[in-house]
Amino acid sequence: MSDLPNTLFLRLEGPLQAWGDTSKFVIRRTMEAPTKSGVIGLICCAMRLSRQAARQHLRELNQLAMGVRIDRPGTRWWDYHTVGAKIGILKAEGGIKRTASTKEIETLVSRREYLCDASFLVALQGDPEVIQRVKDALRNPKWPPFLGRKSCPPTSPILAGETKCDDLVTALSHQRWRPRCESDTPRDEQGARLKQIQLDSLIQWQASLADDEAPLDAEVWYDAPVSFDPPVHEARLVERKCLTVEVGDPTQHHTPVPARLRTDYGKSTWGPLRDKRLEEDNHLCVFCKAPLTKFNATVQHVNYRHATKEDNRAALDDPVLQHKRLRDLRSLCRLCHDAVTMIEYGLGMGLDRINPCDPDFRDRIIKRRNEIIAFRSLETRKRRLSPEEVE
């Protein structure tokens, strides 16, 4: 007997998944778990096989038995897609459908169902040579794989290991279930961490010499692909089983939130630096060159990476640090400061802000200044005029 692995595990996990079965064209539903047709299609995609070229490989791939463990069932969610935009939808009697009012080419709207935030562990079992070829293809896919539909990319590596095992139930039971976060870890009534968890699974039934009749509760899934073009599928019997699985460590760990930098505007630390920046700029706005007085003088931060009280205090004691700190500041009048700040907020800037001396921002700042002047003039006139005169 060969010692090569005969079971391959696939992790199918992503924001969206869609595993169609007997859906109609306008309403596309999804099965509750990956279908064999969808998994084989994923493998053919990794092998760079077109729908036509895949036909000669389907018999071999269909001989692989498949089991699915539902690690996270996800949430069903609907979306809509437009089909046939500017291409046209054929009518039963021939020709292209057009709208009655505008006579333009009609666009068909289809509703499609997805599984959101689901996670499945798929086990493929069969000939070790076929298992090896499938593993090699998924390790280095020729085309990007997707979870049922092309709009559903996976968010974790698909290959999840291999083993040698006699049956699918044993193979899936021996793979640990790992919660996503520590908060998802199952616990008992006393809050203790459980060592095992019960998970539902869908196991493909296979006839044997001892048991050649399928169990009465076996389900019929028409998802064994005979051809992708045109789509032809055969029936497959699936049993629902509840597996006892060990609980492993979480896949994600909590990352502490970084400390938020607090900008210092204290008189003893920020005040001297502000005055030095105004002196270096000769008490003139670096943008509009307006004289700065105690009523309209402001100092703009080009960035806030070194703007804490500790940074300002260190800059006052060290001339080198003070020179670096002053390079992060610019003198502005209140009007230019307001214009620059509005642009920064509109762009959603973080620590790095606008340098008003940068010529790339000159036109934007001028435009925003004019808007502020026009608004303030209007508000001033409204306050000074009577209601009748404003209207």
Q: Could you give the domains of the chain?
A: 7-246 (3.30.70.2660), 270-390 (no CATH)
Q: Is it the case that residue 116 has pLDDT exceeding 50? A: yes
Residue 71 predicted with pLDDT over 70: yes
Is residue 150 pLDDT above 80, yes or no? yes
Q: Specify the pLDDT at position 85.
A: 64
Residue 221, helix vs strand vs coil? strand
Write down the mean pLDDT value for the chain: 90
pLDDT for the residue 390: 47
Give the percent of the chain with pLDDT over 90.
Answer: 70
**What confidence category does residue 382 fall into, taking pLDDT thresholds of 50, 70 and 90?**
low
Over residues 146-152, the mean pLDDT reads: 92
Question: Which three-class secondary structure state does DSSP give residue 159?
Answer: strand
Closest to 283 measured CA to CA, from 340, 332, 236? 332
Mean of the pLDDT values across residues 313-320?
93
Mean pLDDT along residues 339-350: 93
Average pLDDT over residues 97-125: 89
Mean pLDDT of 243-271: 87
Q: According to the model, what pLDDT value does residue 388 have?
A: 56
What integer pLDDT is reported at residue 96 of this predicted model? 83
pLDDT the model gives residue 107: 79
Mean pLDDT of 164-189: 92
pLDDT-wise least confident of 72-76, 243-247, 347-351:
347-351
pLDDT at 274 over 60: yes
Q: Minimal CA–CA distance to 25: which of 84, 96, 100, 73? A: 84
Of 19, 67, 13, nearest to 179 (Cα)?
Answer: 13
What is the pLDDT, as a whole number, of residue 117?
Answer: 95
Q: State the pTM of this model.
A: 0.67
Split at pLDDT 50, 70, 90, the class of 385 is low
Mean pLDDT, to the nearest integer, of 198-203? 96
Q: What is the pLDDT of residue 24?
A: 66
* Ranges 104-113, 179-188, 346-355: which has the least confidence: 104-113
Position 105 scores a pLDDT of: 82
For residue 389, the surrounding DSSP H or E stretch is helix 387-390
Rounded mean pLDDT, 218-239: 92
pLDDT of residue 211: 67
Could you tell me the pLDDT band of residue 391, with boundaries at 50, 70 and 90? Answer: very low
φ/ψ region of 84 (left if φ > 0, alpha if ψ in -120 to 50, else beta) reads: left
Average pLDDT for 142-163: 93
How high is the pLDDT of residue 370? Answer: 93
Q: Which two tokens stand for residue 100?
A: 């009655």
Look at the alpha carbons of 66, 71, 76, 78 in this order and tell me if their dihedral is positive or negative.
Answer: negative
